[in-house]
Chains A and B, each alone.
Chain A
């Protein structure tokens, strides 16, 4: 059973389109995250939710909108895609906000043409 699963794994789309990435965790964790890993391999935190409540919102364009329908799911919707949005997006979950280990999904590779 995959602990943190993301769909789709690969996404190729045109500039200006809107796309969503879904994430689900079956670990019973309270906290979920979205990270972006760009071409330089730097993992940058975007958002964090704890029990469906947004607790971390980094300086991310408002074209990016996370949504957590329940604590097991955290989806990411991106409007008006730009070339610079091309990256690998990782979903992660953690049992404890301050000290827990992060469990990552396999990543969703987004390519904007």
Chain B
């Protein structure tokens, strides 16, 4: 079983719509959480950190539920440029960043 599990998608989203997806993590000792974005044939880049109280960055909202060990990402008013693979990441106290396999989002005109 992978330590971080994600729905691979693809999530096909009309431009302007809202899309949301989750990931679950198995290591209860995970301390910090992130969403990364990876474009085709590029390196992953940080989209946002995820805080216990939930946090928002423009059109992106992340939530963390430690009791159920899941993390969510919501994208509002989707843009064509949001098409990418979104990687969920959990990090433990040793600095081991565990990545999910990614959720593919395709925003269509």
Q: Tell me whether A102 is interfacial, beta carbon within 8 Å.
A: yes
In the bound complex, residues from chain B placing their C-beta under 8 Å from that of A40 are 101
The answer to whether B43 touches A99 (Cβ under 8 A) is: no
Assuming A90-B43, A99-B32, is B94 touching A42 (CB within 8 A)? no
A55-113 interface (Cβ within 8 A of B):
55-56, 90, 92, 94, 96-102, 104-107
Q: Tell me whether B16 is interfacial, beta carbon within 8 Å.
A: no
Shortest Cβ distance from B95 into A: residue: A97
- Interface residue ranges, B against A (CB under 8 Å): 2, 31-32, 34, 36, 38, 42-46, 49, 85, 87, 89, 91-99, 101-102
Contact of B91 among A35, A50, A99, A104 (CB under 8 A): A99
Contact of A55 among B46, B85, B94 (CB under 8 A): B94
Shortest Cβ distance from A44 into B: residue: B99
Tell me how many residues of A have a C-beta within 8 Å of chain B. 27
The answer to whether A102 touches B97 (Cβ under 8 A) is: yes
Q: Tell me whether A31 is interfacial, beta carbon within 8 Å.
A: yes
- Interface residue ranges, A against B (CB under 8 Å): 31, 33, 35, 40-45, 48, 50, 55-56, 90, 92, 94, 96-102, 104-107
Least Cβ distance of A14 to chain B in Å?
24
The answer to whether B34 touches A101 (Cβ under 8 A) is: yes
The answer to whether A106 touches B42 (Cβ under 8 A) is: yes
Within the assembled complex, what's the spacing in Å between the Cα atoms of A102 and B99? 11
